[in-house]
Structure 1
Amino acid sequence: MAAELPRHEGLEARIAEIVAPTLEHMGYELVRVQISGKDRPTVQIMADRADGRPFRVEDCEAISHVLGAVLDVADPFSGEWTLEVSSAGIDRPLTRAKDWERFAGHVATVELAVPVEGRRRFKGIVLGADAETARLRLEDGTEARLPRSNIRKAKLVLTDELIAATAADAKRN
């Protein structure tokens, strides 16, 4: 069974569908596709290692080489474009339910496309997610249940606890 793809729209969704199977075959998982620029677009691919080991520069090089060829064949752009490959980093975006589960207990910020109860921005402790809903414990102790389809962007907040947890994961792997 294929891994859950992060939510994308338009051309970013098309590119995600093109590159995800190749990444999976190479032992990686797609975290995010982002396109910036109009005259000469930059395609940013953010990936994780599927085995949970730390992401290295060599991983970026391998992915860039292979996905550059895959995208050349698929030809999603009419003119020139640039490919950038990176790791998700410590203060990474939360794009898949598994990211929300993996980083439960850490602080995150969320921006919604459409306000919920009059709010568009939330900050709190990640409680987890399923296919439909992400959950945060807010500073006032209440739980926010946010429709994942409405999340414009969500990312971890860089804290001492997150740095320590990331360092501990790196030592284990």
Structure 2
Amino acid sequence: MTDQAALLALIEPVVADMGLALVRVQLKGGKGSATLQIMAEDPATGQLGIGVCAKLSRRLSDIFDEVDPIEEEYALEVSSPGIDRPLTRPHDWDDWKTHDVRVKLTAPLDGRKHIAGVIKGLDGDAAIVTVPGAGDIRVPLAAMSGAKLVLTNRLINATRPLDMSDADDILEDDEPLEGSANDHDPDSDED
């Protein structure tokens, strides 16, 4: 069994030294197929470019090669939290107010195992979620087994990259790419 506190003690200083914020550390899978997933972000942008991601992965990999904190074989996965990010820290609930969320609960709350709605914010040790047809529901953070933003156009617009230096080229025109599915004329007899 892996000691989660010892694992965090190795990861947190490296993340902080790079000026990043740790979003989540999760060991998934079983023997032979375990994955150590580490999500981090730049606190100023909420993003993590691929170059910084690779650098963090190399630094952590070097430390894990020396210390070997996980008994079984595992794959190391370092990433940004993505657009439809997990909400893992109390301040996430205020940072992402007005966005759609899905919450999984450890036990039913008012007869619900899942809650979907709009984030209203944090109230002490509970998130307030406005659920259609039910109003505001107070969800204790300790009662959640997971929470994740829902991918919407509004969320996409709110999370557009501020720094495009690590991004691939972006095509701005509306013309389809040559050879794309959009090149096919639906009125033709050709397949």
Where on the TM-score scale, by shorter chain, does this alignment land: which range? 0.7 to 0.9
Query: TM-score, normalization: structure 2?
Result: 0.76
Q: 1:19 to 1:131 in 2, by over 3 A?
A: farther
CA offset digits 1:94-129 (Å, max 9, x no partner): 011121111100000000111111211000111112
> Which of 12, 17, 24 in structure 2 is aligned with 1:32?
24
Query: TM-score, normalization: structure 1?
Result: 0.84
Is residue 80 from structure 1 mapped to residue 34 from structure 2 by the alignment?
no
Deviation at 1:72, TM superposition (A): 2.9
| Larger radius of gyration between Structure 1 and Structure 2 | 2
> Which of 140, 148, 158 in structure 2 is aligned with 1:155?
148
Q: 1:154 to 1:142 in 2, by over 3 A?
A: same
User: Distance between the aligned counterparts of 2:100 and 2:145, measured in 1?
Assistant: 17
> Which of 140, 157, 180 in structure 2 is aligned with 1:164?
157
User: Distance between the aligned counterparts of 2:140 and 2:108, measured in 1?
Assistant: 11
> Which of 34, 38, 41 in structure 2 is aligned with 1:45?
38
List alignment gaps of at least 5 residues for structure 2.
Answer: 164-191
Q: 1:102 to 1:12 in 2, by over 3 A?
A: same
AA aligned opposite 2:126: T
AA aligned opposite 2:11: V
2:11 is matched with 19
Provide the secondary structure at the position in 2 that maps to 1:170: coil
1:54 is matched with 47
Deviation at 1:51, TM superposition (A): 2.5
Cα contact 1:97–1:128 (8 A) shared by 2: no
Provide the secondary structure at the position in 2 that maps to 1:52: coil
List alignment gaps of at least 5 residues for structure 1.
Answer: 1-9
Q: How many aligned positions are there?
A: 161
Q: 1:37 to 1:100 in 2, by over 3 A?
A: same
RMSD: 2.0
User: Distance between the aligned counterparts of 1:131 and 1:65, measured in 2?
Assistant: 38
Greater helix fraction, Structure 1 or Structure 2: 1
Deviation at 1:14, TM superposition (A): 4.0
CA offset digits 1:58-111 (Å, max 9, x no partner): 011011011112233332222432211010000000011121111100000000
Cα contact 1:12–1:34 (8 A) shared by 2: no
User: Distance between the aligned counterparts of 2:122 and 2:3, measured in 1?
Assistant: 26
2:189 is matched with none
Cα contact 1:129–1:135 (8 A) shared by 2: yes
User: Distance between the aligned counterparts of 1:63 and 1:11, measured in 2?
Assistant: 21
